[in-house]
């Protein structure tokens, strides 16, 4: 949950920033300046600041090591011993704005990566035997750092051979499934392909590691410090903040092409439909970019350049021109001029269709909202609340019998938009309470007395529905306005973050700017009933089993989450509908789920997924590993068709108002077909439609819809 920066707090911080306390060193470089800005923002703004002491030091030490060498592939115990002396002094370094621990870690890490790269090249090009009677442990927490370089090399040998063996066995398993026996490859040919695949994958990885800068490592270190206070407080470099804004706003200014690194070159991965590059009809997927020319500047050869640096060269203000020298698939080289423009990223925007199951229920509106996007930095930008309102209007024009709002896997976003969106379904009233560490709760209200939609409403969620998704689900549940259907509970992120631009908080120091931003957890949000969604999430009214049913997920899986708390409830009511038969809806759904072969298969699959996830030890001997895989493959056969069969009788229809846009080009048609294809095999959609039918038939609020619903089973 992210909001625009508070002007008042930003101004307050401007007073406090960069005035060293007695005994504190003066800021003398950019990194110290950023660290000071981070720590003082936390001190004055964070919802629950903690002491900077030995506990802080030990936690940051552990977190940073996990992030730079989580799989224990680079550092040895000898390296760790050199770093261990700083375990209880990082707090002192933070107080003094120095970086002894960080500085010591860099050459050790760089040297470890070079050693590992050398081990890898030697092992992947050398002979491999798959008869070692040993076990490899893949759980990083259960493995120790290698004692010395000799042991580290043996760890790499086991790991690379395991990677090759697992790829090789998978290829042999895939080949067994082929109906045609023509063109089958020998085991040795498949083994050679596995070696080639692993070599490319790791070579690309080492190439990316070699391009990391000190600033990249510093971001990891600062993130380790920030995350001590909670998982969502973090430091963002200027580039990371720009990417965040693009992701949240669903639009950017540029040419509308996604890039991908391939060796020393950057190629076009995909073209955004409707964007400037798409309109030229000249730039194509898999074109390799050789040079970039900014308007009025010399060409820049981008060979060997990091892809994020290439992106920065190509992005730019609307109306400016960038020239790309590209190599085509036929090896011809051409220069393409593209005028930058605003690019809309459609993949995450709200979209709707009509769902029907003839003989059961027909003409139900379905709105899919992948995230709560909003253009924070500009007026008139993208707004998911406005887009959902538009989808509701289109569905009303088609006289739908009910609306399903699908927030599954929606990780949240704009608080302002979720408040506005919630107001579409009630007359007016509080939607969510927001409270800082010493503030009185602030009520975010729907102040619009109008109701855009007063019919049956179901909100679909799962354990990855978070933040803003949880706000609207909680509000509609508390108001008894909608039925919440899905996982046992949602993600459990009940905190509010704001960005603070460090440049605005610093007077002077222009030679060090830009400094980046701090994303700060500075408030919690609470339901109108006083409870928090933090850690607990929103419990579904009707629980449908999923493949994560037995696996712990959500906010409580993070390190250092804020605790669950509650505050006083506020008065709230709505007179749009009455839902008096929830218990009967739950009972009916439970009976259907228990009788459903698909849902019982989901539960079996969930148990198997839990079992496989818990397994971390694997044999390095080919015959033993293949026997284990054969057994797992045989056990999983029964799950092959899960979520792949079309739901009998389910029809999905696009809205007439959307057809012109869908038919604009083949790409839009393909995306739409894929979207509908996924819905057709979604057993959760089928059961939600059954719940909708019960809801309409049982609730007196929807008596006006009774003639439209066939109760035939």
Pairing of strands 442-446, 429-435: antiparallel
Categorize the per-residue pLDDT at 260 as very low, low, confident or very high, splitting at 50, 70 and 90: confident
Question: 17-26, 85-94, 366-375, 420-429: which has the minimum mean pLDDT?
Answer: 17-26
Distances (CA, A) of 641 to 592, 605, 645, 652, 688: 20, 12, 6, 21, 21
CA distance 219 to 507: 23
User: What pLDDT is attached to residue 309?
Assistant: 81
For residue 584, give the H/E element and its range: helix 582-595
Task: Encode pLDDT of 23-73 as tens digits.
Answer: 444 556 999 999 999 999 999 999 999 999 999 999 999 999 999 999 999
pLDDT of residue 250: 55
* CB distance 669 to 662 below 8 Å: yes
Residues 6+ apart with CB under 8 A from 455: 400, 401, 402, 403, 577, 702, 705
Cβ atoms within 10 Å, residue 259 = 16
Q: What percent of the chain has pLDDT over 70?
A: 91
Nearest Cα residue to 656 out of 303, 380, 354, 298: 354
List C-alpha distances in Å: 492 to 437, 488, 677: 19, 12, 30
- Res. 376: pLDDT tops 70: no
Strands 351-357, 341-344: pairing is: unpaired
Preceding peptide of 496 cis, ω within 30°? no
| C-alpha–C-alpha distance, residues 94 and 586, integer Å | 54
> Is the pLDDT at 269 greater than 70, yes or no?
yes
Q: Check pLDDT > 50 for residue 97.
A: yes
Q: What's the pLDDT score for residue 3?
A: 52
> Does 116 have pLDDT greater than 50?
yes
The DSSP bridge pattern shows strands 288-294 and 299-301 to be antiparallel
Model confidence band, residue 307 (pLDDT cutoffs 50, 70, 90) = confident
Q: How confident is the model at residue 706 (pLDDT cuts 50, 70, 90)?
A: low
What's the confidence (pLDDT) of residue 21? 44
Share of the chain above pLDDT 90, in %: 66
H-helix or E-strand spanning residue 342:
strand 341-344
- Tell me, letter by letter, the H, E, C secondary structure of 347-404: HHCCEEEEEEECCCEEEEEEEECCCECECCCCCCCCEHHHHHHHHHHHHHHCCCCEEE
| pLDDT score for 628 | 94
Least confident span in 171-175, 202-206, 372-376: 372-376
State yes or no: pLDDT of 143 exceeds 70.
Answer: yes
Contacts of 228 (CB under 8 A, 6+ apart): 50, 56, 59, 60, 63, 560
Sign of CA dihedral 158, 160, 162, 168: negative
pTM, 2 dp = 0.84
Under 8 Å between Cβ of 101 and 83: yes
**Nearest Cα residue to 520 out of 47, 35, 13:** 47
Q: Which of 251-265, 316-330, 534-548 has the lowest mean pLDDT?
A: 251-265
Angle at 516 (CA atoms; ends 16, 305), nearest 5 degrees: 160
On average, the pLDDT of the chain sits at 89
User: 414: which strand partners?
Assistant: 2
- pLDDT at residue number 251: 61
- Does the pLDDT at position 207 exceed 60? yes
Give the pLDDT confidence of 637-695 residue by residue, as tens digits. Answer: 888 888 889 999 999 999 999 999 899 877 788 889 989 999 999 999 999 999 999 99
Contact 176, 102 (CB under 8 A): no
Nearest Cα to 206, choosing from 263, 150, 153, 167?
263
Confidence check: pLDDT of 86 > 60: yes
Residue 174 pLDDT level (bands cut at 50, 70, 90): confident
Spatial contact of 234 and 560, defined as CB atoms under 8 Å apart: no
Highest mean pLDDT among 306-310, 477-481, 507-511: 477-481
- Domains of the chain listed by start with CATH number: 50-177+185-228 (no CATH), 251-344 (2.30.42.10), 348-428+448-490+536-698 (3.90.226.10)
For 636-651, letters b (16+ CB in 10 Å) and e give: eeebeebeeeebeebe
Spell out the residues 6+ positions from residue 163 whose beta carbon is closer than 8 angstroms to its own.
198, 202
Task: Find the range with the poorest average confidence among 103-107, 500-504, 586-590.
Answer: 500-504
Q: What is the pLDDT of residues 399-451, one digit of tens each?
A: 999 999 999 999 998 899 999 999 999 999 999 999 999 889 999 999 999 99
User: CA-CA distance, 2 to 661, in Å (whole number)?
Assistant: 31
Count other C-beta atoms under 10 Å from residue 599's C-beta: 18
The per-residue pLDDT for 474 is: 98
Task: Classify the phi-psi angles of 560: left when phi > 0, otherwise alpha if psi is within -120 to 50, otherwise beta.
Answer: left
Rounded to whole angstroms, the Cα distance separating 577 from 564 reads: 31
Of 1-5, 267-271, 538-542, 675-679, which has the strongest mean pLDDT? Answer: 538-542
Q: Which pLDDT does position 109 carry in this prediction?
A: 97
Range scoring the smallest mean pLDDT among 89-93, 280-284, 304-308, 457-461: 304-308
Phi then psi dihedrals of residue 482, to 5 deg: -140, 160
pLDDT of residue 335: 87
d(CA 49, CA 27): 22
User: Is the per-residue pLDDT at 138 higher than 60?
Assistant: yes
Residues 679, 653 contacting (CB under 8 angstroms)? no
Mean pLDDT in residue range 458-476: 97
Task: Report how far residue 301's alpha carbon sits from residue 298's, in angstroms, rounded to the nearest whole number.
Answer: 10
Distance CA 465, CA 1 (A): 12
Q: For tokens 């038919």, what's the residue?
A: 663
Residue 155 pLDDT: 96
Predicted pLDDT of residue 710: 45
Q: What is the pLDDT of residue 277?
A: 85
Question: Which regions of 553-693 does DSSP assign to beta strands (E)?
Answer: 617-619, 651-654
Which one is predicted more confidently, 58 or 327? 58
Enumerate residues 6+ apart whose C-beta is below 8 A from 196.
none
Q: Is 646 within 8 Å of 680 (Cβ atoms)?
A: yes
Q: Is the pLDDT of residue 83 over 80?
A: yes
């Amino acid at each position: 949950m992210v909001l625009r920066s508070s002007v008042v707090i930003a101004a307050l911080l401007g007073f406090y920033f960069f005035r060293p306390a007695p005994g504190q060193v003066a800021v003398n470089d950019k990194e110290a300046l950023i660290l000071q800005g981070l720590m003082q923002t936390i001190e004055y703004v964070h919802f629950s600041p903690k002491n900077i002491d030995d506990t802080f030091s030990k936690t940051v030490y552990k977190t940073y090591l996990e992030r730079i060498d989580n799989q224990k592939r680079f550092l040895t115990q000898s390296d760790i011993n050199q770093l261990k002396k700083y375990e209880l002094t990082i707090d002192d370094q933070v107080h003094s704005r120095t970086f002894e621990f960080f500085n010591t870690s860099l050459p050790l890490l760089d040297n470890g990566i070079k050693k590992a790269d050398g081990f890898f090249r030697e092992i992947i090009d050398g002979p491999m035997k798959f008869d070692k009677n040993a076990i490899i442990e893949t759980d990083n927490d259960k493995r120790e750092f290698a004692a010395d370089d000799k042991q580290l090399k043996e760890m790499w040998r086991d790991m690379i051979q395991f990677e090759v063996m697992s790829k090789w066995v998978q290829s042999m398993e895939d080949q067994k499934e082929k109906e045609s026996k023509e063109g089958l490859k020998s085991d040795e040919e498949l083994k050679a392909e596995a070696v080639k695949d692993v070599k490319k994958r790791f070579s690309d990885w080492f190439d990316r590691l070699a391009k990391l800068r000190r600033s990249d490592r510093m971001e990891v270190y600062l993130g380790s410090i920030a995350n001590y206070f909670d998982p969502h407080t973090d430091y963002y470099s200027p580039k990371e903040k720009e990417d965040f804004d693009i992701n949240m706003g669903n639009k950017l200014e540029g040419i509308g092409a996604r890039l991908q690194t391939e060796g020393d070159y950057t190629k076009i991965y995909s073209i955004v439909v409707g964007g400037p590059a798409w309109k030229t009809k000249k730039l194509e997927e898999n074109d390799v970019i050789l040079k970039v020319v900014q308007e009025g500047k010399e060409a820049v050869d981008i060979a060997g350049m990091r892809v994020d640096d290439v992106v920065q060269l190509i992005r730019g203000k609307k109306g400016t021109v960038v020239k790309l020298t590209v190599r085509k698939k036929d090896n011809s080289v051409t220069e393409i001029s593209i005028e930058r423009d605003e690019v809309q990223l459609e993949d995450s925007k709200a979209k709707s269709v009509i769902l029907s199951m003839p003989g059961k229920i027909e003409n139900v509106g379905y709105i899919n909202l992948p995230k709560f996007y909003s253009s924070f930095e500009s007026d008139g930008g993208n707004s998911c609340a406005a887009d959902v309102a538009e989808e509701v209007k289109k569905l009303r024009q088609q006289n739908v019998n009910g609306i399903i709002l699908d927030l599954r896997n929606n990780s949240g976003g704009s608080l302002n938009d979720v408040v506005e969106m919630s107001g579409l379904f009630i007359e007016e009233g509080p939607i969510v309470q927001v409270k800082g560490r010493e503030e009185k709760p602030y009520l975010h209200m729907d102040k619009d007395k109008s109701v855009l939609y007063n019919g049956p409403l179901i909100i679909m969620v799962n354990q990855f529905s978070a933040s803003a998704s949880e706000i609207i689900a909680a509000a509609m549940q508390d108001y008894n306005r909608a039925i919440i259907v899905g996982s046992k509970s949602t993600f459990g992120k009940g905190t509010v973050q704001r960005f603070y631009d460090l440049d605005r908080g610093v007077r002077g120091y222009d030679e060090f700017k830009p400094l980046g931003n701090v994303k700060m957890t500075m408030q919690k949000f609470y339901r109108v009933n006083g409870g928090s969604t933090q850690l607990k999430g929103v419990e579904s009214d009707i629980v449908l089993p999923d493949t994560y049913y037995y696996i712990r997920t959500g906010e409580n899986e993070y390190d250092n989450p804020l605790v669950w708390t509650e505050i006083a409830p506020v008065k709230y009511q709505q007179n749009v509908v009455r839902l008096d038969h929830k218990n009967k809806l739950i009972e009916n759904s439970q009976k259907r789920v228990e009788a459903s072969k698909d849902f019982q298969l989901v539960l079996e699959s969930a148990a198997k997924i839990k079992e496989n996830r818990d397994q971390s030890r694997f044999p390095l001997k080919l015959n033993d590993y293949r026997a284990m895989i054969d057994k797992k493959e045989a056990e999983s056969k029964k799950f092959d068709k899960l979520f792949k069969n079309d739901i009998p009788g389910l029809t999905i229809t696009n809205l007439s108002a959307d057809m012109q846009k869908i038919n604009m080009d083949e790409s839009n048609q393909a995306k739409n077909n894929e979207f509908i294809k996924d819905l057709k095999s979604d057993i959760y959609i089928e059961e939600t439609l059954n719940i909708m039918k019960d809801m309409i038939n049982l609730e007196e609020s929807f008596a006006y819809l009774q003639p439209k619903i066939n109760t035939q089973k």
